Structure 1
Amino acid sequence: MSTARPREEDDQAAAPSPKRTKLDEEAKTGEDVEMADALQSAEAVPAPEKAVESLLPPSHSLLNAPNPVYTPDGSMQRIMETDVGISEYVGHDVPQINGIIKQRFTDFLVFEVDLDGKVIHVKSLDSPEPTKKDADSTPAESADTENKEALSKPEDSEAPSTSNASVVSNEPAKTEVAQDQTIQDDEPWPERLTESLKPFLSEEVIAQVKGLYLEGPEPPFVSDSGWGSRQSKDGETVDSSTATAAPQEEPEESGRGKRGRGRGGRGDRGDRGRGGRGGRHGRPGQREDKRKVLSDPISSKETRTGLHQAVRTLFGGKLETETDTTTPATDEGSRIVIKWSRSGGSGGRGGGRDRGGERGGYPPYIHFTLQKTNRDTQDALAHLSRSLHCNVKDLSVAGTKDKRGVTVQRVSLRRANKTVEDVWKMANGFGGRRTIEEILSKRGERGIRVADFNYRRASLELGMLKGNAFVITLRNVQVDSQDTIDRAMNTIKTKGFINYYGMQRFGTAAIPTHSIGLALLKSEWQKAVSLILRVRPGEHPDVTAARNAWLIDGDLDRALALMPRRVVAERCILESFKKQGGDTRNAMGALSTIPRNLRLMYVHAYQSYVWNAIVSERIRMHGAERPAVGDLVFDTDAAANDDGEAAVEGPDDDLVAEENKDDESAPAGRAPKRSRKPWEPPRVKVLGEADLDAHTIFDVIMPLPGRDVSFPGSTLGERYKAFLRADGLDPENFERKQKEYSLGGSYRKILHLPRELSWSVLRYTDPDVALAQADEDALLGFDAPAPDAGGRFTALQVRLTLGTAAYATMALREVTKTETSAHFQSGLTLASEDQKFRAGAEADADAEAEGEGVK
């Protein structure tokens, strides 16, 4: 016989809101009881009578939530919605619809919606074809071809501009070919450039010119602290490709101590940088560009003249030539120096900031579509960085996506010398792990698939999207009638849902991320370290072993050897301890080694927790139908974006409203760029009695705590401040000595209305049969979704489009009236009746029966 979880018993004793009485009763169903057995592999017990250190903020006592359940060792069992302030509903009068969220990965499909309102899908798995223009290019993509066209236009007229008939006697025939190819040129180094240079240069020298051109106008960045590419003792320039082999005896003249005086320094036109070292964006290691290619000796003056003109014409002024004066002329003739032009030409040096980092005349970024399956965004980007042999900071996205599901979004790559073909091959493991046939017939490795490449002038930044489109399938739906489903869905369609921050925001482990954030805000560095390193029930055995190696055995080396690299924060802290010789006193320093955006995720989780809790309080006080006296609204229509998010940080701050774990994937480790318009903080006002008729409930906003936000009026504002004081924070002071923990705050609308919403009811029997299909599977020709009209079980498929700041799981919560935490939903899946009808389960049962017969 199964027994009810202690948490359910606590629910009975907790004096819930009258609006939730019916829901609480319905929650105690047989299914929940069965689920409890599946969730608990070890028996959980109520919190012991002796004092146990709470892992939740002190303000948890103000939530009117059940007490958390602890295991005997004092670890929290699981974090529930009520622990993070999620408790109320808009459609509280609509009966519960039991269903399972994310039973299969394809039950939760997410497609990014770009700034043009276009839903991103994977269109083709084929290798990019650089020789063909994309007929379906968007205006933005077409604009990015300007640099490419600047290269092709002068090349069309290469024959007329060449004056030496004896050197280019075959040029008229070549011209026709070149002009025909120019229309389709869409690659950094068209083959015809090689053909055009053959009358003047040897194959070896042409290869050197190609390498120089593809490197782009900026010298390649090396890790020799500016010692490379200097003059050697014999006066010859050291080739940039070998400069990193060993440091030279003396730094070049434009190095440290003489900043800004070299060609790449502050005074160089078109390549200005910060800090005096010069170069685009002030990148470290920038130095005078001494790269050059020397031709073989050329005795004919006409041939030398033809080479000068050919280079000038072929490369549109990007490359320049001059007679080599560093070595005396011989009987064999003079050498010609080929190098990047100082004055630019079309798109050359000095050609503008956007083109400063281009390689081979192409924009410096490649954008592509990423489909990931059961991978969080940062994990997927880390995998790509390894495949592409680049720094993960060179990859950026417009928004992070859910881990458990199949998600599609755009990614940008600072490409260096890579072409779209290079990226496709490297990301797909071509030439090493996989063949072309395998790439085009099998799913991507480790749940990662990249496709649909374009060269672009700029990288993506957090917030550069309009929202996300979802196709969500609820399994094993149990409802009294179709009318109840329609009522629930129409409630979301017309009344919206409470715009809570979803459970993803607070982590999936037993240690609440918002508790870590509170410790950081209170400068309790040792406590924050302790929470991060603490053992978490249900964690992967490798991680548990690594934690215990340090926490129990004190073996730092073994802990680092065992800790998987994906466990970022813990590894950073342990590596910091190792650098300090095992000394753990500098906890703040150890925390500072964690990537900034991950640290801010903890702090923003605390802000989200407070917001959830106060919004629940507001709904309990005034309902979710209309504004109330004391509510906050934006004072102007332009104060917030379409989704009701408005940050009050200035342009240098880092808070960006984003889907799911907003701040985990800030692009390229750089602060997000902001609009070039002068920044102004949003203006808000407190509603009085006379203002109520001029506003709707969809205008009402709630602040996230920070130094520059206004609190609601009336009793709710005082309740907000009391909540912060309970956690030991001063509501009037969010400045910190560590600037990154100084919060400006932001505003967020308390209700969210879907932009699009539709639903359908399906039948199925085998839960392993997909009811929705990922883009990759469709392009691979896998079987399409196959609902069974006569199936045993009911599924509800929901298609909706939400803004960037909204959580789809919070919309589904309005339908199911059920806990949405991942561990709870996993328990429902394990206890679900449809699992008995899995094809694999039937095979297992047959095998077991056969085994019993043998015995």
Structure 2
Amino acid sequence: MKQDGDAAVNVPPCFISNHEGFRGSIKNLIRDFVVTEIDVGGRRVTAASANHTSPCASSDANSQSSAQFKQESDASTDCDVDATPPSFDLSVILGQSVSEELEQFVLTLKDETTAKQELSLGCFPDKHHRANVHRVVRHRFPFLMTITIQPEIRVREDPDYRELSQLVTEDEAEDFFRFIDAKVRGSSYTFGPDDSKEHRTAVHHFMSRRFGKLVETKSFSDQGTTAITVRLREQGRPKKRSGEERKEEEVYTGFTLRKENLETLEAISYMAAALGVLPSDFTYAGIKDKRAVTYQSMVVKKVSAQRLEEKAAEFQKRGMHLSQIRSVGEPLRLGRLQGNHFDIVVRDLRRHGTSDTHFSAANAHTCLEELVKEAVENVEARGFVNYYGPQRFGSSQSVQSDHVGLALLKEDMVGAVRLFFTPEEGDDPHSHAKRHFLQTDNAKESLAMMPLSKAKERLMLRALNRYGTGPDGCAQAWLSLPHSMRVFYPHAYCSRVWNEAAAHRLTTLGHRARRGDLVWRQEGQNKLEDAGETSLPQIHVVTEEEEQQGAYKLGQVLLPMPGNTVKYPENSMGTWFQERLARDGLDKCRFRVSSLKLNLPGCYRPLLACPCNFRYRLQAAEDGRGEVMGGSSRSDRQLNGQTGEGKQGSLVLVLNFDLDSSCYATICLREIMKCDL
């Protein structure tokens, strides 16, 4: 159980806002912390059959049908993001002037002598807003391709559209591209009658060359006319030329996983054992908290939907609820998500400096509401330091995951294994088995003692028993883990360095963008272009003149995660990174561990993060049960005065907000409350 006052030793003591904050405890109950993944389309990944009601659900029946999208960067105030392309005018999303400029751009495309190559639609810092811009522009103008050069979106004519429009009518080309963009499973599109076999062959070849992985085409004759019908492939993958049935290893099944009090990797290990596949056969977009109720998308290879359905009841007994089980065409990729939505309850609220005096309903209006309002408004306006949260470093109190990662980066396989098996205090079976291994080097006996639920430890002990405990055997032990588990440890080390760098940057260079800082590129500068929402940020080094002019804000400043492709700041922070890595013996590190098939290119992480779609409310907890009282029809930003508990009623805070991927709700709470969690 996480109580207030627990030391967040992985997070440096540095804040952005200076409000007083308050104390409280989180995760008293599993259902106090609900995490729902937001997919790349901006939709929440929820279990359709799960009876979970989000604390952010408003009793106002009109709240869901009110403005679905605002011009500001916080795209929506609703709990759910509409999965279908909005039908309202583009000026609502882009603004009147940009919308008119886009219309004019489209009109000039046909005149190749005067047409612009591309048009900037502006910068959209919020991912939800960007996703809606991409979706709506392509729906309105299917012949355009939208390109993200974060945070800017640009449009240009899709060359595939131009090629197709020379083979079919423009109306057919537009309709076809809308059909492709929608990707509705089981749907098809039929072109107009075409009696020229040579022309039909050209269309077939175009489809195969440009969209072969997504669609299949066939010519059908009906009443003397012939037309081409295009169907989305059932699994989204090209069929075998031999016509044979797809082999088992090519079967992919997607599902939504709802889990309670389980690590993502622990849940995967259990499901893999029950299904007779490897943990590496499971793919996912992100790892979710252990002590929480979490919803996320997953894909498993080599397991049919029917077989997964048959195992669902068994998994449910272990705290895993599987829903929306269906065949899919490909695995998921790590990081392939927009972010996460959080529904959090903070209990035992009190001011800093108090220990047992809790706020009652009698004085909540005069003190607590004021503190909460100030804190939330500050964080909404200014954001928070984008630290990696404690869960990034593992739950162990003896050896943190970043220490293991450092040993792996030094290619000290034996040392990394021994750090991995460092036991906790106490004599629980898990620690006892670890202690036995370190004392005896006997992997076989330690494996017999290791609890069945400890999948990672058991995988490594099996390999150590087979290959020995020397350097080569330890390398094989690490290779026995799925890649996502192996790379977790070096990433933990790099995350530790990033956290320290963020604190040092704010302490020494302050809360302004400084010369030599790395920032997002501004509009108008040359950029390396990449399509879609997966493009890397384009890096610009702040000049002295730009610092003096205040051309960039602190929220635009980036810090690199150490790796072999990143650029470091060209100020005192660049020197700091060099000295920090050298202190750990990594001054010549290539951030590759070839023997473990690990490559760490690094990345750029914004110094600050900001929650979106933020809501909060104060209300009473039922005495003795810990339940959150609901039923209020008042605004989420109003204090619920119907406590029903009198002076004995303890107030709780309910928070609902979205964060981008790799941002941590516990760090956001830390900034709000001004205390470690």
Bin of the TM-score, shorter chain as denominator length: 0.5 to 0.7
Residues 739 and 609 (structure 1 numbering): CA distance in 2 closer, same or farther, change over 3 Å? same
* Secondary structure of 2:451 counterpart: coil
1:815 aligns with 672
Q: 2:558 matched to 1:631? A: no
1:749 aligns with 606
After superposition, give the CA deviation of every residue in 1:670-708 in whole Å (9 maximum; x if it has no partner): xxxxx8889987542221232132211111000011222
Task: After TM superposition, give the deviation of residue 534 of structure 1 in Å.
Answer: 1.5
Task: After TM superposition, give the deviation of residue 446 of structure 1 in Å.
Answer: 1.8
* Partner of residue 114 from structure 1, selected from 39, 47, 53: 39
Q: 2:352 matched to 1:476? A: no
Q: C-alpha distance in 1, partners of 2:536/2:348?
A: 47
Q: C-alpha distance in 1, partners of 2:232/2:371?
A: 65
* Secondary structure of 1:481 counterpart: helix
Q: 2:509 matched to 1:622? A: yes
Q: C-alpha distance in 2, partners of 1:553/1:574?
A: 13
CA contact (8 A) 2:281 2:301 kept: yes
After superposition, give the CA deviation of every residue in 1:607-657 in whole Å (9 maximum; x if it has no partner): 100100011011112333x31222111335699xxxxxx9x9xxxxxxxxx
Q: C-alpha distance in 2, partners of 1:495/1:378?
A: 34
Task: After TM superposition, give the deviation of residue 560 of structure 1 in Å.
Answer: 0.8
Task: After TM superposition, give the deviation of residue 376 of structure 1 in Å.
Answer: 1.2
Question: Which one-letter code corresponds to 1:556 in the other structure?
Answer: A
After superposition, give the CA deviation of every residue in 1:758-802 in whole Å (9 maximum; x if it has no partner): 1111112446433289xxxxxxxxxxxx97553521211111101
Which aligned pairs between 1:315-330 and structure 2 lie closer than 5 A? none
2:19 aligns with 94
Question: Which one-letter code corresponds to 1:474 in the other structure?
Answer: V
Residues 451 and 351 (structure 1 numbering): CA distance in 2 closer, same or farther, change over 3 Å? closer
Which aligned pairs between 1:439-458 and structure 2 lie closer than 5 A? 444-458=316-330
* Partner of residue 465 from structure 1, selected from 323, 330, 337: 337
2:382 aligns with 495
Question: Which one-letter code corresponds to 2:49 in the other structure?
Answer: S
Residues 413 and 553 (structure 1 numbering): CA distance in 2 closer, same or farther, change over 3 Å? closer
Which aligned pairs between 1:568-579 and structure 2 lie closer than 5 A? 568-579=455-466
Which aligned pairs between 1:367-446 and structure 2 lie closer than 5 A? 367-388=254-275, 390-414=277-301, 417-419=304-306, 422-429=307-314, 444-446=316-318
* Secondary structure of 1:81 counterpart: coil
TM-score when scaled to structure 1? 0.51
1:688 aligns with 543
CA contact (8 A) 1:120 1:410 kept: yes
Which aligned pairs between 1:591-740 and structure 2 lie closer than 5 A? 591-624=478-511, 626-635=512-521, 682-692=537-547, 693-730=550-587, 733-734=590-591, 738=595, 740=597
1:840 aligns with none
2:8 aligns with 81
Which aligned pairs between 1:548-567 and structure 2 lie closer than 5 A? 548-567=435-454
Question: Which one-letter code corresponds to 1:514 in the other structure?
Answer: D
Question: Which one-letter code corresponds to 1:633 in the other structure?
Answer: V
Q: C-alpha distance in 2, partners of 1:534/1:633?
A: 40
Q: C-alpha distance in 1, partners of 2:542/2:420?
A: 42
Task: After TM superposition, give the deviation of residue 390 of structure 1 in Å.
Answer: 4.6
Residues 513 and 351 (structure 1 numbering): CA distance in 2 closer, same or farther, change over 3 Å? closer
Question: Which one-letter code corresponds to 2:667 in the other structure?
Answer: M
CA contact (8 A) 1:627 1:697 kept: yes
Task: After TM superposition, give the deviation of residue 736 of structure 1 in Å.
Answer: 5.2
Which aligned pairs between 1:763-778 and structure 2 lie closer than 5 A? 763-766=620-623, 768-771=625-628
CA contact (8 A) 1:358 1:364 kept: no
Q: C-alpha distance in 2, partners of 1:549/1:634?
A: 51
Residues 379 and 736 (structure 1 numbering): CA distance in 2 closer, same or farther, change over 3 Å? closer
Q: 2:467 matched to 1:580? A: yes
* Secondary structure of 1:469 counterpart: strand
TM-score when scaled to structure 2? 0.63
Task: After TM superposition, give the deviation of residue 725 of structure 1 in Å.
Answer: 1.2
Question: Which one-letter code corresponds to 2:543 in the other structure?
Answer: G
Question: Which one-letter code corresponds to 2:406 in the other structure?
Answer: L
After superposition, give the CA deviation of every residue in 1:805-850 in whole Å (9 maximum; x if it has no partner): 2100000001222222xxxxxxxxxxxxxxxxxxxxxxxxxxxxxx
Q: C-alpha distance in 2, partners of 1:554/1:453?
A: 43
Q: C-alpha distance in 2, partners of 1:426/1:392?
A: 16
Which aligned pairs between 1:175-324 and structure 2 lie closer than 5 A? none
Which aligned pairs between 1:13-24 and structure 2 lie closer than 5 A? none
Which aligned pairs between 1:4-15 and structure 2 lie closer than 5 A? none
Q: C-alpha distance in 2, partners of 1:359/1:580?
A: 35
Q: C-alpha distance in 1, partners of 2:474/2:274?
A: 34
Question: Which one-letter code corresponds to 1:101 in the other structure?
Answer: I
* Partner of residue 434 from structure 2, selected from 547, 550, 572: 547
Which aligned pairs between 1:828-843 and structure 2 lie closer than 5 A? none
Q: C-alpha distance in 2, partners of 1:483/1:116?
A: 37
Q: C-alpha distance in 2, partners of 1:448/1:679?
A: 30
* Partner of residue 485 from structure 1, selected from 330, 353, 372: 372
Task: After TM superposition, give the deviation of residue 717 of structure 1 in Å.
Answer: 1.9
After superposition, give the CA deviation of every residue in 1:465-488 in whole Å (9 maximum; x if it has no partner): 211111111000103532111111
Residues 366 and 789 (structure 1 numbering): CA distance in 2 closer, same or farther, change over 3 Å? farther
Question: Which one-letter code corresponds to 2:626 in the other structure?
Answer: V
* Partner of residue 523 from structure 1, selected from 405, 411, 425: 411
Q: C-alpha distance in 2, partners of 1:471/1:81?
A: 21
After superposition, give the CA deviation of every residue in 1:106-160 in whole Å (9 maximum; x if it has no partner): 110111112221223222269xxxxxxxxx996999735327x79xxxxxxxxxx
Q: C-alpha distance in 2, partners of 1:98/1:351?
A: 51
Structure 2: state its 5+ residue gaps: 52-81, 86-179, 190-207, 214-218, 221-228, 352-366, 631-641
**Identical positions, percent:** 28
Task: After TM superposition, give the deviation of residue 595 of structure 1 in Å.
Answer: 2.7
Tell me how large the CA RMSD over aligned residues is: 4.0
CA contact (8 A) 2:475 2:595 kept: no
After superposition, give the CA deviation of every residue in 1:23-63 in whole Å (9 maximum; x if it has no partner): xxxxxxxx98xx7xxx9xxxxxxxxxxxxxxxxxxxxxxxx
Count, aligned residues: 481
Task: After TM superposition, give the deviation of residue 367 of structure 1 in Å.
Answer: 2.8
Q: Which structure shows the higher strand fraction?
A: 2
Question: Which one-letter code corresponds to 1:81 in the other structure?
Answer: A
Q: C-alpha distance in 2, partners of 1:571/1:714?
A: 46
Task: After TM superposition, give the deviation of residue 384 of structure 1 in Å.
Answer: 3.2
Task: After TM superposition, give the deviation of residue 424 of structure 1 in Å.
Answer: 2.9
Q: C-alpha distance in 2, partners of 1:759/1:685?
A: 37
Q: C-alpha distance in 2, partners of 1:397/1:99?
A: 33
Q: C-alpha distance in 2, partners of 1:749/1:98?
A: 27
Residues 707 and 397 (structure 1 numbering): CA distance in 2 closer, same or farther, change over 3 Å? closer
2:651 aligns with 794
After superposition, give the CA deviation of every residue in 1:408-460 in whole Å (9 maximum; x if it has no partner): 122223465544xx53343124xxx9xxxxxxxxxx32211122344433332
Q: C-alpha distance in 2, partners of 1:364/1:526?
A: 37
Task: After TM superposition, give the deviation of residue 506 of structure 1 in Å.
Answer: 0.5
